[in-house]
Amino acid sequence: MTTSTPSPRRALVTGGSGDIGGAICRRLAADGLHVLVHANSRLDRAEAVAAAIVEAGGQARAIAFDVADGDAARAALETVLADGPVQVVVNNAGIHDDAPLAGMRESQWKRVIDVSLHGFFHVTQPLLLPMARTRWGRIVSVSSVAAVLGNRGQANYAAAKAALHGATRSLAREMASRGITANVVAPGVVAGAMAADAFPAEAIRQMVPAARAGTPEEVAAVVAFLCRDEAGYVNGQVIGVNGGMG
C-alpha cells in the first residue's frame, strides 16, 4: 500500500524578484513551500528567481501582474486559486518616489500608496476566504523603519507603510480564530541596489547603531519564521529588523 505525499503549502511573494523579495522566496522554498514569485513588469527577473529555486531542489514558478491594478490582480489570483488555496502571503511589493511633501506631485503621492497599500488589499483580500477554509494561514507584510520613525522626503512611503501596520493589526483580530496570523516585518537599511544608491557607507555608520546595513537574508529569516507553524501565537505584531534604529 502506497501513501501519497501531501502537496506543499503555496506561498505568494509580491515583489519577489527584488533583493529582499528574492531572499524571501529562496528561504520559503528552502522551508518546503511552493513559491509563487511575483513581479510587475519584469517577469524575466521573477523567472530567474524561480529557476534558481527549482535548480536548488525547491518548487517555484513566476507570476506577473500590477498589484496596484485591482482588476488585473483579481484576474491573476483567480487563475492561481484554480489550483487550490494560497496559505502564505508575503506583501513585499513597494516603490519609492521621494520628494519633500512641499514639492511632492500628486502622482508621486498616489502611486506609492497605490502599490504598497492598495496592493496589499488587492492581493490579500481575494485569498482570505480560500485560506480560511483550510484553517491555517500566514500573512506577512514588509514595511519599513520609515513607517515607525519617519524619513525626510518619504512622507508618501512612510504613510503607505504605516497604514499596513493598522490594517495588519485589524486583520489579525479578524482571522485569528481561523488559524491565520497577520504580522509586519519592518526592515531598516538593507544592502542591495536601493540602499546602495541612497545610503553611503559613512551615512549608514552614523544612522544605524549596528554600524552596518542589514542583509536581505536577515530580513528573510524573520519572514520565514513568521510563516511557520511555530509562529502561530505571534499575531498582529510589527517586528523591526533594523540594527537598533528604533
CA atoms within 13 A on the CB side of 103: 6
Tell me if residue 157 is catalytic: yes
Orientation angle between helical segments 43-55 and 19-30, nearest 10 degrees? 30
- Which residues, 6+ apart, have CB-to-CB distance to 79 below 8 Å? none
**CA–CA dist 104, 97 (Å, integer):** 9
Rg (CA), the chain: 18
Which residue is catalytic, options 40, 157, 180, 222?
157
The residues that are catalytic are 157
